[in-house]
């Protein structure tokens, strides 16, 4: 994403396309989707017909013809400004989408066949399951999993982050995104998505807003606006016979103007733009929202469940120390710990081998005939079986303890002490055994990501509870939870435990957000009301989530929540302003219509507007110009500060409720003073 599209509110290109888009949206087939503004467009058609055919409704006179033309022009401008607001919001998203599309142009792929032969094809021809080789300086042609190799990958085209990231096979960091660039070395990748269905393709679609659907709150508010519009239409229809009864002739164009001024045109014109802008603001934080509903739900989040590894911590637990127990020598522990990790491609396994070789100076090689036992969530340990039958295991202390006891072994007395000490330090104790004999503990160090303590404190201030889920033992989990500043934790957590925790919160009527990056997080991400996957995580996690954090920075979850709250507050504030400023229009138009026949109505002319024509036109002009004046606020959102709901409501009612009443009184009076001499010159 280019810097310009991230920082500038509007560019020349966006302005040009927005103006064109605003005229294009005048099509009645499109306008009918926005009932409030459709009524304004119908009013424009009626008044423009009256301008050329005044006899239709008995409105005659050159002065009245001019008045009808002026009213028609103002109504057209009102609809145009409404469409312009929506077009700007869409234009900003499309500008970002164009920068993303540049990464897809003319990409080639080096496909590896089963016999090892290389064939260069266009990236658009790749199918799911194809194997490709990407060398330094080349684009990764489509989403995939690293099968072989290790390389630095530049993801700045998608994330905006210039620092390259290391991608390698094994673990939760093997996923690569199409459109990113291999900076060094090479990667052998298995394609995991069909053409047009990649993560980048979906990003472009979402950023463009092409698949945006109205959110539940937006639909509810739209229903309210339509209801108010119908009510005011009924009022205007009944007003005409009342006026005839008291001897007042009301021009049809005045009734149209009155209708437009009384219905909530301000929020009706900005409602769609507010929703689009909400998704746009999330995108500018390098978070891709798969729907507007997800952004809106962020504003209602009560509980946030976070996966520890890769979310709260950096995820790569590094071997820091070998701690022997009983009468075992450190060299023996290191020897067997390294052997158990030779085929372990996880970052932890590689760090054990690396630390062991560093401490002993011995370069270890794979043992022919050795059988590798992979880690599973059920056994919670991994290891190897040597050709001579020797079984080496490493894993959680309780899992290894159970395994050793089943073989008839005895647990050393000081093992529990060493495990507890490592846990107290916030590390992960990995116990190593050979057959039925426990050798010692590997101290794996887990590092908390910077800034989390402050962020979690802010979440707590706005009433959001944070829960950490981890597969670690309770002591380790408690230490990490305390250091990170989360409210509670779930230790020895399995994938199904995360889902149960989410369901338990939802059963209490709470809105739950979940962040994660691993395949085992996918079910919980799908269950949560808001699922946020880390971009560095697996494709399964991204598929299940309704948001993806491109920077893989869980501290941004607070920003996303605040954007969601800002979206709701912005919509509520502008709705309050829109309905409040109708009050001033009552005092402008109603007295103007009747005070000529009913002198007592002049008491309501508290703005001392000059004539009935100037009063109506001033109210109509203000109604039109207030929409573009509020576009920047709709785009950027009302400023949000963490505070209690009652205080927030009081503040917004004072600013947008009271302000919505005062501003039109001032604006209409100023416009009246400006247009009165012009109207007098034309005999109005």
Q: What are the catalytic residues?
A: 307
CA gap 621, 616 in Å, rounded: 9
Residue keyed to tokens 């052998």:
188
CA gap 617, 582 in Å, rounded: 15
Residue 376 marked as a ligand binder? yes
Residue 378 marked as a ligand binder? yes
Residue 377 marked as a ligand binder? yes
Closest CA to 176 of 203, 148, 140, 129: 140
DSSP SS3 for 174: coil
Burial of 382 (0-12, 13-18, 19+ CB in 10 A): buried
Phi, psi of 610, deg, nearest 5 = -65, -60
Residue 380 marked as a ligand binder? yes
Q: Structure tokens of 382? A: 């991994």
Residues in the chain: 684
Q: Structure tokens of 676? A: 């009165």
DSSP assignment, residue 152?
A: E
Residue keyed to tokens 């036992």:
373
Pairing of strands 108-112, 118-122: antiparallel
Q: Structure tokens of 93? A: 């998203």
- Across 271-402, the runs of DSSP E, i.e. the strands, are 287-289, 303-307, 318-324, 371-373, 381-385, 391-395
CA gap 448, 419 in Å, rounded: 20
DSSP SS3 for 487: coil
Output Rg (C-alpha) for the chain, integer angstroms: 33
CA gap 346, 319 in Å, rounded: 12
Count other Cβ atoms within 10 Å, centred on residue 215.
21
Distance separating the N- and C-terminal Cα atoms of the chain: 54
Count other Cβ atoms within 10 Å, centred on residue 101.
16
The per-residue b/e assignment along 269-289, b for 16 or more CB within 10 angstroms, e otherwise, is bbbbbbbbbbbbbbbbbbbbb
CA gap 256, 124 in Å, rounded: 54
CA gap 291, 314 in Å, rounded: 28
Sign of the Cα torsion 573, 579, 582, 583 reads negative
Residue 418 marked as a ligand binder? no
Residue 538 marked as a ligand binder? no
Count other Cβ atoms within 10 Å, centred on residue 646.
8
What kind and span of H or E run contains 431?
Answer: strand 428-434
Cβ–Cβ < 8 Å for 460, 440: no
Strand partners, 154: 181
Residue keyed to tokens 């402050």:
454
Closest CA to 296 of 553, 33, 656, 569: 569
CA gap 99, 277 in Å, rounded: 18
Residue 521 marked as a ligand binder? yes
The per-residue b/e assignment along 648-672, b for 16 or more CB within 10 angstroms, e otherwise, is beeebbeebbebbbebbbebbbebb
Pairing of strands 175-176, 118-122: unpaired
Q: Structure tokens of 157? A: 């085209």
3-state percent helix, strand, coil for the chain, nearest multiple of 5? 55, 15, 30
CA gap 79, 25 in Å, rounded: 9
Binding-site residue set for ATP? 344, 348, 375-382, 394
Binding-site residue set? 344, 348, 375-382, 394, 517, 521
Binding-site residue set for Mg(2+)? 517, 521
């Amino acid at each position: 994403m280019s810097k310009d599209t991230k920082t500038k509110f509007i560019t020349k290109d966006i302005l040009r396309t927005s103006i064109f888009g605003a005229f294009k949206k005048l099509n009645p087939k499109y306008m009918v989707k926005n009932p409030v503004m459709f009524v304004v467009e119908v009013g424009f058609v009626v008044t423009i017909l009256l301008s050329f055919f005044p006899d239709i409704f008995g409105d005659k006179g050159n002065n009245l013809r001019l008045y009808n033309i002026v009213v028609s022009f103002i109504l057209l401008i009102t609809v145009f400004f409404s469409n312009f607001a929506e077009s700007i919001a869409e234009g900003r998203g499309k500008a970002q989408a164009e920068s993303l599309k540049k990464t897809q142009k003319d990409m080639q792929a080096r496909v590896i066949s089963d016999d090892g032969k290389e064939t260069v094809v266009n990236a658009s021809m790749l199918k799911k399951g194809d194997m490709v080789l990407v060398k330094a300086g080349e684009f990764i042609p489509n989403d995939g999993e690293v099968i072989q190799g290790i390389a630095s990958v530049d993801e700045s085209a998608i994330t905006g982050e210039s620092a390259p990231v290391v991608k390698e096979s094994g673990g939760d960091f093997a996923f690569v995104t199409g459109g990113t660039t291999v900076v060094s070395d090479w990667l052998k990748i298995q394609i995991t998505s069909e053409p047009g269905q990649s993560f980048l393709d979906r990003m472009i679609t979402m950023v463009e807003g092409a698949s945006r659907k109205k959110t539940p709150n937006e639909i509810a508010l739209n229903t309210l606006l339509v209801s108010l519009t119908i009510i005011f239409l009924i009022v205007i229809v009944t007003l005409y016979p009342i006026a005839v009864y008291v001897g007042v002739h009301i021009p049809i164009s005045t009734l149209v103007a009155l209708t437009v001024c009384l219905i909530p045109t301000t929020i009706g014109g900005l409602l769609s733009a507010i929703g689009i802008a909400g998704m746009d603001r999330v995108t500018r934080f390098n978070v891709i929202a798969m729907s507007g509903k997800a952004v809106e739900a962020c504003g209602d989040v009560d509980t946030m469940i976070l996966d520890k590894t890769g979310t709260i911590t950096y995820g790569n637990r590094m071997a820091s120390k070998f701690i022997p127990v009983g009468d075992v020598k450190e060299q023996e522990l290191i020897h067997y710990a390294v052997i158990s990790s030779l085929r372990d491609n996880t970052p932890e396994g590689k760090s054990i081998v690396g630390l062991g070789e560093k401490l002993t100076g011995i370069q270890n090689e794979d043992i022919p005939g050795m059988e590798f036992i992979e880690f599973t969530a059920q056994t919670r340990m991994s290891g190897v079986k040597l050709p001579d039958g020797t079984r080496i295991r490493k894993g959680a202390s309780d899992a290894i303890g159970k395994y050793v006891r089943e073989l008839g072994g005895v647990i050393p007395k000081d093992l529990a002490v060493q495990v507890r000490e490592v846990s107290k330090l916030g590390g992960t104790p990995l116990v190593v055994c050979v057959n039925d004999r426990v050798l010692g503990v590997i101290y794996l160090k887990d590092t908390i990501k910077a800034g989390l303590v402050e962020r979690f404190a802010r979440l707590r201030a706005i009433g959001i509870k944070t829960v950490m889920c981890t597969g670690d033992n309770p002591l380790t989990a408690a230490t990490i939870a305390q250091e990170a500043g989360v409210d509670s934790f779930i230790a020895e957590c399995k994938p199904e435990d995360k889902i149960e925790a989410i369901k338990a919160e939802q059963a209490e009527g709470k809105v739950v957000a979940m962040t994660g990056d691993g395949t085992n997080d996918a079910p919980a991400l799908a269950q949560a009301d808001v699922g946020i996957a880390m971009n560095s995580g697996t494709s399964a996690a991204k598929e299940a989530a309704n948001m993806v954090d491109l920077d893989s920075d869980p501290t941004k979850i607070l920003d996303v929540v605040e954007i969601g709250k800002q979206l709701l507050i912005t919509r509520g504030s502008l709705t309050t302003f829109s309905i409040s400023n109708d009050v001033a229009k009552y005092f402008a138009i109603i007295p103007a219509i009747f005070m000529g026949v009913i002198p007592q109505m002049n008491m309501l002319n508290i703005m001392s507007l000059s004539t009935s024509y100037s009063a109506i036109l001033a109210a109509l002009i203000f109604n039109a110009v207030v929409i573009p004046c509020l576009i920047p606020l709709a785009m950027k959102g009302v400023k949000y500060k963490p505070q209690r709901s009652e205080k927030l409501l009081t503040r917004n009612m004072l600013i947008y409720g009271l302000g919505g009443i005062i501003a039109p009184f001032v604006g209409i009076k100023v416009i009246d003073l400006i247009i009165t001499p012009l109207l007098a010159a034309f005999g109005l």
